[in-house]
Chain A
Amino acid sequence: MSVAILAAEFLTRMAQNLQPDQPSASEQYLGEDMTTYIQWNNDRAREIIAAHALFDGAALPILHALQFEFGFIHEEAIPLIADALNLSRAEVHGIVTFYHDFRRDPAGRHVLKLCRAEACQSMNGTGVAQDLLATLGISWGETTPDGSLTVEGVYCLGLCACAPSALYDGEPIGRLTLDTLADVVREARAP
């Protein structure tokens, strides 16, 4: 194999690892980028629900797939899921609202998940997070007025030996400082 092919192949492979053209079920979850979300539509939602309805315990796989496609769980999804799984609307509403992951409204173009747990606290994660939120003028779970960035708090990303840490559109970042977060905000706001 020639060097050129090898290096190029490697770079493609790496790029694919993050943003595959045709994401498989597991690849779907790697990386979150609002620019790839599509507008809510009932027909597409029905297709997604049907494709996952036969899974054992289908509700979570369906909700993840819907959020991956549309960026949030639209109110109209609830009766569709209830019909497909033979559940009441109240039960589906109960499931959606139980889990922190499922958004009821669209997120910004980019999502920053900042860790709020103890290991990150020990490295001034709380201070860094508060400064960021104050700079952006938003609270946990909110989106900047320009729609560029949503900041969500999470409890532990398993990156505790390089605290404080975050996931930015699914990409891990460690040893966060105000400077690295300023870079993230700048990138999120870039057109």
Chain B
Amino acid sequence: MTKVLISTDAMSLALGSRRICALLAEEAFRRGLALDIVMIGSRGLFWLEPLVEVETSSGRVAYGPLKPSDVGGLFEAGFLEGKDHPLRLGLLKDQPYLARQTRLTFARCGIVDPLSIEDYRTYGGYVGLERALGSQPQEVVDEVKLSGLRGRGGAGFPTGIKWDTVLHAEADQKYIVCNADEGDSGTFADRMLMEGDPFTLIEGMTIAGLAVGATKGFIYIRSEYPHAYHTMSKAIEVASNAGYLGSSVMGSVRAFTLETRLGAGAYICGEETSLLESLEGKRGMVRAKPPLPALKGLFGRPTVVNNVLSLATVPWILANGGQAYADFGMGRSRGTLPIQLAGNVRRGGLIELAFGTTLRDIIEDFGGGTATGRPVKAVQIGGPLGAYFPASMLDIPLDYEALAAAKGMLGHGGIVVFDDSVDLSRQARFAFEFCAAESCGKCTPCRVGAVRGVEVMDRIIAGIEPQKNFDVLEDLCTLMTDASLCAMGGLTPLPVMSALTHFPEDFDKSPRVAAAAE
């Protein structure tokens, strides 16, 4: 029976893959053809979606992007034998966009059936866990340290060091918490991985549990990701039934159980201490640090809080060795970074590459410029708290330190492209507006500063006493940076000040106001 694979990743669904799926089934039924339709995750080439792949003797032949009206023609052309058609793409792995990538964390995403343990094992799954089960906890932690893996959530803290702290903390109960509250605009890698290869995250969390002596884990998923929540919850059920989770992990004497939890639309819960409060069933108010969550985290117990991608990379590190991972990358940024290219770009998608690729390479070569065909004016890197850079600065390499040196941040690796229709003073205002809407309210610089920021920006945009208001703006940004309790208030000045620094012309509203006043 011919196997046809189609992505039901939320982004593929947004582009119409469910309708294509139904039409394929109907058309096959009408023609009396036997089809095995498998719903998988996406490879992340979203400008080609919705696409279908047909399993043939020479590999999986892809066709896309498909409109509902293309389905009949595909059958006529003999796509089930991989025959020619105007939308035939050949093998996806030969697409330059994919061929140029180094897929370690995303090696299986878009290839395997997300809920099939057999598929997962066929493609190298659970090799890392087997190794961890045969090792001492300290050996596992040391392997992660050797890999140089740094937290992919944004802060870039070395994962192995965090684990080491939890390993050596004394407690009756420790926890592994996965931060899947991926709220940054322009990022979707966590979502794709949870929908396309959930067992990788489960395996990574299980290894973390064995390494630090935690028997229970939680995955805190934002409610804006209903599909990821659904797939992840199902995958935990499948893994538990197959003996990969529970009181005896893979027949060993070690126990590890996992539960999913749903967020409730609060961006701040992506901040680790706020996330822990939320998991405990409270308002997501940020906690002061210290104590570090590694020592006093969930329910006051030592807790590893890691991002989805950090945890999902661990199985590869254990299976292939920490050194093999560290061999990729540049400087102190080791391994690969799953970059998410989004916004106003022709070829948006997931691009996993070793650290060090330039922004220009990503936006021009991979992205093919803007979707609107107009010139690139600005790119925002690292979500709503990340800096805006002008087109003249695209030669910055993607690396934690290089971006910090350019007064930006890598964050979760999301890149949003804007064409020349964007007004950066509006974006600066939005940064404050967003902070005002999402601040937890615990500290004054963030709670009040964000509101004052919107007011100041409104005056600047209206051209009222510009110099005086620029002084207030700068003073406010310094205060928020220095005195906020967490990164929400502390980094909101980053998009604001970068917009002002690199696009001063957008903030100069005097001519327009002068004209209006006449």
Contacts and interface: CB of A to CB of B under 8 A. Distances in A.
A3 to B, nearest CB: 5
A122 B416 contact: yes
Contact of B14 (A27, A30, A122, A173): A173
Interface stretch (A39-47, A128-136, A163-171, A183-191): A163-171
Interface string B1-31: 0000000101101110010011001101100
Contact of B224 (A123, A157, A161): A157
Main secondary structure of the interface of B (DSSP, over half): mixed
Contact of A6 (B34, B230, B261, B284): B34
Interface string B246-261: 0000000000000111
Contacts of A94: 283
Given A26-B230, A159-B14, A161-B46, A101 B265 contact: yes
B179 interface: no
Given A29-B223, A99-B284, A64 B46 contact: no
Contact of B434 (A58, A95, A155, A162): A155
B266 A11 contact: no
Contacts of A14: 18, 21-22, 25
B230 to A, nearest CB: 5
Interface in A44-88: 56-61, 63-64, 85
Contacts of B299: 56
Interface in B160-194: 182-188, 190-191
Main secondary structure of the interface of A (DSSP, over half): mixed
B331 interface: no
Nearest to A87: B281
Contacts of A27: 230
Interface in A145-178: 154-163, 165, 167, 170-175
B35 A26 contact: no
Contact of A101 (B11, B22, B264, B279): B264
Interface in A83-130: 85, 91, 94-95, 98-102, 113, 115, 117-123
Interface string B490-514: 0000000000000000000000000
B416 A160 contact: yes
B281 A85 contact: yes
B419 interface: yes
Contact of B267 (A56, A155, A161): A155
Given A3-B34, A95-B282, A99-B264, A160 B340 contact: yes
A17 B486 CA distance: 39
Contacts of B36: 6
B88 interface: no
B329 interface: no
B225 A158 contact: yes
Contacts of A158: 10-11, 182, 187-188, 190-191, 224-225, 228
Interface string B219-246: 0000111111110111000000000000
A122 B422 contact: yes
A173 B440 CA distance: 30
Contact of A26 (B21, B188, B229, B279): B229
A167 B225 CA distance: 10
Contacts of B183: 155-156
Contacts of A119: 185-186, 342-343, 414, 416
A160 B187 contact: yes
B280 interface: yes
Nearest to B285: A98
A29 B262 contact: yes
A162 B230 contact: no
B26 to A, nearest CB: 7
A113 B222 CA distance: 14
Nearest to B184: A156
A99 B440 CA distance: 10
27 contacts: A3-B28, A4-B29, A8-B29, A25-B233, A30-B226, A56-B218, A60-B261, A61-B262, A64-B262, A64-B264, A98-B266, A100-B266, A101-B223, A101-B263, A118-B343, A119-B186, A121-B422, A123-B343, A156-B185, A157-B224, A158-B190, A160-B343, A161-B46, A161-B188, A161-B340, A174-B11, A175-B15
Given A56-B299, A99-B265, A158-B228, 17 more contacts: A3-B35, A4-B29, A10-B25, A27-B230, A57-B280, A61-B262, A85-B281, A118-B343, A119-B186, A122-B419, A122-B422, A155-B384, A159-B10, A159-B14, A160-B186, A162-B11, A162-B15
Interface of B: 8, 10-11, 13-15, 18, 21-22, 25-26, 28-29, 32-37, 46-47, 182-188, 190-191, 218, 223-230, 232-234, 259-267, 278-284, 299, 340-345, 348-349, 371, 380, 384, 414, 416-419, 422, 427, 430, 434, 437-438, 440
Q: Which 9 A-B pairs have the closest CB atoms?
A: A161-B348, A26-B233, A174-B14, A117-B185, A160-B342, A59-B281, A99-B264, A100-B265, A57-B281
